[in-house]
């Protein structure tokens, strides 16, 4: 196993730490990336390992817990039961929809900070997308029959409650290696999703929504930059309509607030804190933590993600950096530095799934990070989710034994 050398030191630190907190992404980390989200699978041993970590583990994902495409359905499939996960408290606790949908390990869900009006608009979005999808696909693929278009619509339009999404993978399959066609798909659907935001604004929801593009090349003027396809990198594969403020680094604050409240009985940011109360900038987030969290209450945080990007600009001097896991991993790293704790940043290489991504095995960290990148990884799992899961299961068992015997 390739991780063993650098891993032993990290592993022993995590086993014996008296106060740790895992904050982990899901897709590409503990579930291999697949083109059709309805076929995702999660290993049952991993689900039980999460239970061993108990209150020391949260997920933080842009997917959702509930619904037909939700992670809860994957857990039920993995355990072959719809009752066992609830009875044995095996649902993954933490935040979904990039920070809106919180669930405990019983599968009980709360979503503070979202208005009825916003929920109503979100529920209409898939039916707003359908005619536009039809028009765009007919334009790009004039030879497709209506039946084929409908088939791709089912796979591409994700009717999720807090984050209606357009996924390109099904259409990308039609163009094979034609990166110009892939670019056309990306640009057309980004324009379409922006039209839906304008529709929301016309209905009185001016500051309610933004587009989360995955993977992206960071932010420009408050908008995420789409990563256009090239010959050797598929680029952005989906666009989600999210509620403003639902970003993963704000999710870290929510989870940290909850973790400390459960442990000490006192919520540093207040008991009603949610993504809508979170400061926007990283500097303000750090300031809030330094002002309200006692050093002895701050856990050693382990951040785990797979979607981090870095692309060299044409001038060869600067980089565009993004990816939906970057912001939360960066925040965890800075918090560690500020509180004098060696937080751990773990990168799982998800390129071995069905979605083309830069591979650490083939080209090192090219396309993921760069020499000037402030974000540094403590562990890189080159062999993807499978390798990470076996490490995680082993760690959970050793940590559990350590706690019993200490």
Average pLDDT, the chain: 94
277 with 252, same domain: the answer is: yes
Strand 94-96 and strand 57-60: pairing?
A: parallel
DSSP per position, 226-283: E---BTTB----EEEEEETT--HHHHHHHHHHHHHHHHHS--TT-TT--TTTS-SSHH
Final residue belonging to a domain, choices 217, 243, 269:
243
Contacts for 140-149: CB closer than 8 Å, 24+ residues apart: 140/171, 140/181, 140/184, 140/185, 140/188, 141/171, 141/174, 144/174
Average pLDDT, integer, range 127-154: 97
Final residue belonging to a domain, choices 214, 243, 272:
243
What token pair was written down for 208? 């309610």
364 with 379, same domain: the answer is: yes
Final residue belonging to a domain, choices 243, 270, 291:
243
In sequence order, the 6+-apart residues with CB closer than 8 A to the CB of 91 are: 65, 72, 75, 85, 103, 104, 105, 106, 107
Give the pLDDT score at 6.
62
333 with 347, same domain: the answer is: yes
pLDDT tens-digit readout, 38-52: 899 999 999 999 999
Domain of residue 152: give its range: 116-161+164-243
d(CA 24, CA 328): 10
398 with 288, same domain: the answer is: yes
Average pLDDT, integer, range 104-132: 96
257 with 380, same domain: the answer is: yes
152 with 187, same domain: the answer is: yes
265 with 392, same domain: the answer is: yes
Say if CB 40 and CB 27 are below 8 A apart: yes
Strand 20-24 and strand 300-305: pairing?
A: parallel
92 with 77, same domain: the answer is: yes
Residue 312 belongs to domain with CATH number:
3.40.50.1000
Give the pLDDT score at 3.
44
Average pLDDT, integer, range 377-402: 95
d(CA 184, CA 203): 29
Look up the pTM and report it: 0.93
The total number of structural domains in the chain stands at 2
130 with 85, same domain: the answer is: no
396 with 270, same domain: the answer is: yes
H or E element: which one contains 225?
A: strand 223-226
pLDDT tens-digit readout, 213-244: 999 999 988 899 999 999 888 999 999 999 99
d(CA 195, CA 16): 52
176 with 278, same domain: the answer is: no
194 with 77, same domain: the answer is: no
Give the pLDDT score at 8.
77
In sequence order, the 6+-apart residues with CB closer than 8 A to the CB of 214 are: 62, 236, 237, 238, 239, 240, 307, 323, 324
pLDDT tens-digit readout, 332-379: 999 999 999 999 999 999 998 888 889 999 999 999 999 999 999 999
d(CA 154, CA 79): 26
Q: Is 210 helix (H, G, I), strand (E, B) or coil?
A: strand
- Alpha-carbon distances of 358 from 193, 195, 364, 396, rounded to whole Å: 26, 31, 8, 29
């Amino acid at each position: 196993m390739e991780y063993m050398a650098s891993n032993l030191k990290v592993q022993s630190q995590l086993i014996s730490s008296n106060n740790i907190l895992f904050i982990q992404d899901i897709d590409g980390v503990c579930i291999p990336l697949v083109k059709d989200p309805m076929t995702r699978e999660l290993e049952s041993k991993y689900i039980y390992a999460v239970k061993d970590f108990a209150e020391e583990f949260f997920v933080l994902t842009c997917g959702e817990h509930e619904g037909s495409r939700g992670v809860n359905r994957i857990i039920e499939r993995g355990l072959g039961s719809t009752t066992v996960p609830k009875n044995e408290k095996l649902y993954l606790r933490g935040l979904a929809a990039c920070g809106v949908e919180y669930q405990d390990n019983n599968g009980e869900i709360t979503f503070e900070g979202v208005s009825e009006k916003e929920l109503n608009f979100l529920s209409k979005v898939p039916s707003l997308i359908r005619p536009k999808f039809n028009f765009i696909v007919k334009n790009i693929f004039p030879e497709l029959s209506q039946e084929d278009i409908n088939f791709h619509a089912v796979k591409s339009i994700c009717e999720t409650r807090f984050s209606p999404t357009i996924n390109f993978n099904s259409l990308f399959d039609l163009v094979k290696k034609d990166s110009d066609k892939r670019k056309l798909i990306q640009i057309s659907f980004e324009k379409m999703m922006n039209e839906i935001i304008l529709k929301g604004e016309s209905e009185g929801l001016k500051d309610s929504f933004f587009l989360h593009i995955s993977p992206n090349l960071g932010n420009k003027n408050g908008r995420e930059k789409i990563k256009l396809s090239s010959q050797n990198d598929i680029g952005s594969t989906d666009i989600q309509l999210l509620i403003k403020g639902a970003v993963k680094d704000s999710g870290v604050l929510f989870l940290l607030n909850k973790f400390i409240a459960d442990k000490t009985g006192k919520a540093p940011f207040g008991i009603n804190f949610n993504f809508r109360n979170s400061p926007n900038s990283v500097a303000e987030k750090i300031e809030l933590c330094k002002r309200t969290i006692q050093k002895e209450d701050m856990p050693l945080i382990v951040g785990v993600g797979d979607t981090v990007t870095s692309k060299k600009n044409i001038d060869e001097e600067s980089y565009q950096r993004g990816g939906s896991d970057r912001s939360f991993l960066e925040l965890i790293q800075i918090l560690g530095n500020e509180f004098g704790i060696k937080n751990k940043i773990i990168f799982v290489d998800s390129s071995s799934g069905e979605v083309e991504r830069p591979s650490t095995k083939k080209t090192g960290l090219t396309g993921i990070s760069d020499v000037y990148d402030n974000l540094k990884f403590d562990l890189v799992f080159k062999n993807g989710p499978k390798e990470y899961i076996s490490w995680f299961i082993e760690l959970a068992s050793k940590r559990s034994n350590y706690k019993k015997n200490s």
